[in-house]
Amino acid sequence: MKADQTAQTALLDLQAQDALIAQLQHRKKTLPEIAQIAELEVKFKQLDGQRIEHDTAVSDLSRAQKKADAEVEQVKTRRTRDEERLNSGAISNPKDLSSLQHELVALERRIGTLEDEELEVMQKLEEAQARLRNAEGDLEVVRGELDRKKADRDAALTAIEQQLAGAEEERTSSAAALPTDLIALYDKIRSQYGVGAAALRARRCEGCRLELNGADLREIASAPEDEVLRCPECSRILVRTPESGL
């Protein structure tokens, strides 16, 4: 393939633009915020699981407290009724009186037990409510961190996207100025090796970093200026420069 020296040298600029584009695309995918967000999302899920557990405990205990409350009320109602019967003087039979008094003592004891139980449930409920509030607070902190990280990530992405758009525009106009067969060869090699063209500097191919042997160098030195050369080691387009050392 033939291409004038200016076009061959311009390939090196195109290669630099392509390297910049690849670097920007890599940065987009490897932003530190991406990993940090993933980590925070795992943490958020764990904390939310804990919050749900505490929330369930609060609901269960609230229900238990209402039930205990109703039980106390029920026994107290019965006690009131018995007291009214006792005080009404309607019961004159000593045996009935004594059994009613016994029942009142039993009811009193029962109320005491139920109130102790109710108190215990209330304490547990308060503890569960405190745990729920803590979990909600922790969750809020992580949510805030997540929002901040996402905003940082989006800002970084927008900046990279802008740089990419500029780099791609430059790349398009650089490529448009080059012969189509040369660009086609360059793109084909680039898709295979990542780098399509490399400079020959100090007898070394800057694509594969290998120093060329004497015979290859003599061949390159004798090749016409407009001959498109390939590196004998890595097959990339090899562009001669004033520092080639030929």
Q: Under the rule (CB under 5 A), what is the footprint of Zn ion? A: 205, 207-208, 231, 233-234
Nearer to Zn ion among residue 175 and residue 231 (C-beta): 231
Residue (189 or 208) nearer to Zn ion, CB = 208
Residue 239: enclosing H or E segment and its boundaries? strand 237-240
Nearer to Zn ion, 39 or 211 (CB): 211
**Whole-angstrom distance, CA of residue 111 vs CA of residue 192:** 86
Nearer to Zn ion, 14 or 40 (CB): 14
How many CB atoms are located within 10 Å of the residue 159 CB? 12
CB of 27 to Zn ion, least distance (A): 27
Closer residue to Zn ion (CB): 117 or 216:
216
Please give the DSSP secondary-structure letter assigned to residue 151: H
Contact 207, 169 (CB under 8 A): no
Burial readout 128-140 (b: 16 or more C-beta within 10 A, e: otherwise):
bbebbeebeebbe
CB atoms within 10 A of CB 181: 12
State the nearest-atom distance from the C-beta of 205 to Zn ion, in Å. 3
Tokens of 224: 């016409």
Q: Helix (H, G, I), strand (E, B), or coil: what is residue 227?
A: strand
**Tokens at 123, concatenated:** 């304490």
CB of 225 to Zn ion, least distance (A): 20
Least separation in angstroms between residue 211's CB and Zn ion is 10
DSSP secondary-structure letter at 229? Answer: E
Least distance to Zn ion from the beta carbon of 235, Å? 7
